[in-house]
Amino acid sequence: MNFRKEGACNLNPKPTLRDKKKEATAHALAEAAFKLALEQGMDGFIVEDVVQQAGFSRRTFANYFSCKEEAVAAYFIGSASNEDETLLFADLPPDATPLDALYSLLKMQFTSEFLYKLRQFVSLANQYPSLEPYILSVFRRLQMAAQEVLEKFSHGRYSEGYTHLLAGAVYGAFVPILDGRLNVLLPGEAPDDRSGAMSFDQYLNSMFGYLHNGF
């Protein structure tokens, strides 16, 4: 099957100073909500506590989030969506494929700190059912952000269906790591007595090996 297509993709306009300020405000509110959730549990704080800790008003919070659960989930989206695309593309060889670009993105994006915090979010969701609907939303947003990067990289040489397929397959493969169904050590996590534990890099390379070889 040939996924290539002619034409160039339309790139999103460069964010303005106002856009960056709004993004910073949303991230500050989300980070405050996340920290409160870890310290006090979802039942231990209200929206007013979030805005006081972040230094904004209740009205400002309402401009970005409908509830505290949405703010907690948004923390992870912002943590994984600020990669330096110029640096990412510059490190790739001229004959690199979208799969190569996605591998490079994941190595930059899924740091030990980010994966640890994301695992904390999954753990919170297991304890508090009000967070469960946002798990899929988080991974969906991460997948969409990666797919946009792939579109910019491919410059229209591949169809959107192909880039969606790649992003969906890869990001879906991380869910069983975070909820504990797969015995995989996160980057920087020391091995313990768990038998058969696979390192994160081993899992990542194995997953991309399947994609390269077409299963």
Q: What is the pLDDT of residues 37-54, one digit of tens each?
A: 999 999 999 999 999 999
- Write down the pLDDT at residue 62: 97
Mean pLDDT of the chain: 82
Token representation of residue 41: 């549990």
Mean pLDDT of 5-27: 70
Token representation of residue 175: 């869910």
Of the two residues 86 and 67, the one the predictor is more confident about is 67
CA distance 117 to 114: 5
The segment with the largest mean pLDDT, out of 31-40, 78-87, 145-154, 195-204, is 31-40
Mean pLDDT of 199-213: 88
- Write down the pLDDT at residue 3: 36
Quote the radius of gyration of the chain (alpha carbons, Å): 19
For residue 121, give the nearest of 30, 28, 201, 50 by alpha carbon: 30
Domain 15-71 is classified in which CATH homologous superfamily?
Answer: Homeodomain-like (1.10.10.60)
The segment with the largest mean pLDDT, out of 75-89, 115-129, 187-201, is 115-129
DSSP structure class, residue 130: G
Per mean pLDDT, which range of 66-75, 186-195, 199-208 is the poorest?
186-195
Mean pLDDT of 56-85: 83
DSSP structure class, residue 4: B
Mean pLDDT of 148-162: 82
Percentage of the chain with pLDDT > 70?
86
Helix residue ranges per DSSP H, the chain = 17-40, 47-54, 58-64, 68-79, 85-90, 98-109, 112-127, 133-154, 160-172, 175-178, 200-213
Cβ–Cβ < 8 Å for 177, 184: yes
Angle, in degrees to the nearest 10, between helices 17-40 and 68-79: 120
Please provide the size of the chain in residues.
215
The pTM assigned to this predicted structure is: 0.68
